[in-house]
């Protein structure tokens, strides 16, 4: 069993409002798009910031909130698809800059925006109260570094940030945990950063067609998330002989508010049981789940003893759902 000991988050320095993009690209259709999906603002990293520095700041806040020292952490997992560099792992830099012991394991997970929930699920399986007493999981996202400023559809969607959980071994914790993972790799070429890897190393052609920037070559089905999230959650809950209605708090990938509303309505649950942050921080990818949960706690919308559901999806197409007691 495990317990979320603390959370933390970090926003970079540069606020980018909707008005900035409306002035740049025009009000039509952006005003309607922003209103429909619920995005109000987003933050971009400074030149000297990276997904690693964002993660370090979120991790420091989580440590402070837990009353723990860096050397108390036995395992660090970083969830990101915007790594500070291709190699080595972003987790190596974060482990070093946080001052963790070199005996602490540290690695990255990349299944796009489903990565954080996947990483939390992985971390809980390590916690044993002996070698692994505390694990830190950080979702960090610096997609602004990969945006084409002249691409209206991608540059307006993404924001940067990081969120962290510190998990502790807790045999006394009541309530079981369950999870479900799913993927449909047929969507691998619908959205991503396709230049800069081993398939298309950076060269003059990659720079010319800007494939080192995030691209959306194909359009995802409009109802993909609203179709996939409910059965994934139901499958995780069924492992505990529970239904979605038995949970008190839900945190979803923060890509579109209408999708969240639709799923909650399908479950017959009020929006008070969930939380959205895209109105103030935009879509922060692999960081959005921990950032939204941190903010939900700050707004007293989730309390100790509540059953929580995390549900995330991202490019690939990867999905993860998890339920536990907070």
| Per-residue pLDDT in tens (0 to 9) along the chain, 326 residues | 899 999 999 999 899 999 999 999 999 999 999 999 999 999 999 999 999 999 999 999 999 999 999 999 999 999 999 999 999 999 999 999 999 999 999 999 999 999 999 999 999 999 999 999 999 999 999 999 999 999 999 999 999 999 999 999 999 888 899 999 999 999 999 999 999 999 999 999 999 999 999 999 999 999 999 999 999 999 999 999 999 999 999 999 999 999 999 999 999 999 999 999 999 999 999 999 999 999 999 999 999 999 999 999 999 999 999 999 99
Q: Please state, in angstroms and rounded to a whole number, the distance separating the CA atoms of residues 94 and 279.
A: 29
CATH of the domain at 248: 3.40.47.10
The answer to whether residues 163 and 206 belong to one domain is no
Q: Please state, in angstroms and rounded to a whole number, the distance separating the CA atoms of residues 201 and 116.
A: 27
Structure token pair of residue 148: 């084409």
161-169 and 2-10 beta bridge pairing: antiparallel
Length of the chain: 326
Show which of 169, 188, 212 is a domain's final residue: 169
Structure token pair of residue 2: 């495990």
Q: Please state, in angstroms and rounded to a whole number, the distance separating the CA atoms of residues 37 and 278.
A: 9
Count Cα atoms within 13 angstroms, Cβ side, for 182. Answer: 18
The answer to whether residues 158 and 187 belong to one domain is no
Count Cα atoms within 13 angstroms, Cβ side, for 38. Answer: 16
The answer to whether residues 306 and 161 belong to one domain is no
Show which of 169, 200, 229 is a domain's final residue: 169
Give the count of domains, the chain: 2
The answer to whether residues 132 and 196 belong to one domain is no
Q: Please state, in angstroms and rounded to a whole number, the distance separating the CA atoms of residues 193 and 144.
A: 12
Show which of 169, 186, 206 is a domain's final residue: 169
Contact 228, 314 (CB under 8 A): no
Residue with tokens 């860096």: 70
The answer to whether residues 19 and 43 belong to one domain is yes
The answer to whether residues 127 and 243 belong to one domain is no
The answer to whether residues 196 and 165 belong to one domain is no
Q: Please state, in angstroms and rounded to a whole number, the distance separating the CA atoms of residues 306 and 302.
A: 7
The answer to whether residues 6 and 154 belong to one domain is yes
Q: Which domain holds residue 36?
A: 2-169
Q: What contacts 24+ positions apart, CB below 8 Å, involve 210-217?
A: 210/148, 212/146, 213/146, 213/147, 213/148, 213/151, 213/154, 214/143, 214/146, 214/147, 214/148, 214/154, 214/158, 215/154, 215/191, 216/153, 216/154, 216/190, 216/191, 217/189, 217/190, 217/191
The answer to whether residues 155 and 216 belong to one domain is no
The answer to whether residues 124 and 185 belong to one domain is no
The answer to whether residues 184 and 159 belong to one domain is no
The answer to whether residues 214 and 148 belong to one domain is no
């Amino acid at each position: 069993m495990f317990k979320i000991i603390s959370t933390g988050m970090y926003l970079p320095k540069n606020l980018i409002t909707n008005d900035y993009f409306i002035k740049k690209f025009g009000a039509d259709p952006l005003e309607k798009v922003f209103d429909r999906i619920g995005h109000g603002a987003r933050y971009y990293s400074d030149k000297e910031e990276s997904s690693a520095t964002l993660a370090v700041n979120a991790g420091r806040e989580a440590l402070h909130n837990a009353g723990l020292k860096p050397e108390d952490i036995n395992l660090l997992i970083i969830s990101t698809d915007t790594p500070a560099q291709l190699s080595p792992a972003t987790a190596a830099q974060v482990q070093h800059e946080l001052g963790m012991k070199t005996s602490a394991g540290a690695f990255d997970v990349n299944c796009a925006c489903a990565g954080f929930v996947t990483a939390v699920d992985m971390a809980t399986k390590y916690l044993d109260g002996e070698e692994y007493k505390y694990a830190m999981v950080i979702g960090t996202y610096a997609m602004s570094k990969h945006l084409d400023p002249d691409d209206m559809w991608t540059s307006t969607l993404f924001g940067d940030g990081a969120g962290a959980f510190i998990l502790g071994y807790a045999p006394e914790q009541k309530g079981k945990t369950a999870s479900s993972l799913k993927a449909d790799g047929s969507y691998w070429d619908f959205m991503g950063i396709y230049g800069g890897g081993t398939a298309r190393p950076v060269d003059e052609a990659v720079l010319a067609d800007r494939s080192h920037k995030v691209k959306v070559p194909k359009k995802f089905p409009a109802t993909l998330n609203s179709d996939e999230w409910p059965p994934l959650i139901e499958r995780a809950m069924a492992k505990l002989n529970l239904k979605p209605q038995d949970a008190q708090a839900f945190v979803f990938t923060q890509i579109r508010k209408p999708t969240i509303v639709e799923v909650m309505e399908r479950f017959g649950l009020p929006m008070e049981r969930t939380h959205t942050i895209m109105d103030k921080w935009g879509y922060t990818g692999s960081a959005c789940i921990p950032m939204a949960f941190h903010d939900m706690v700050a707004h007293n919308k989730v309390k100790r003893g509540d059953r929580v559901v995390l549900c995330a999806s991202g490019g690939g197409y990867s999905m993860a759902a998890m339920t536990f007691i907070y």
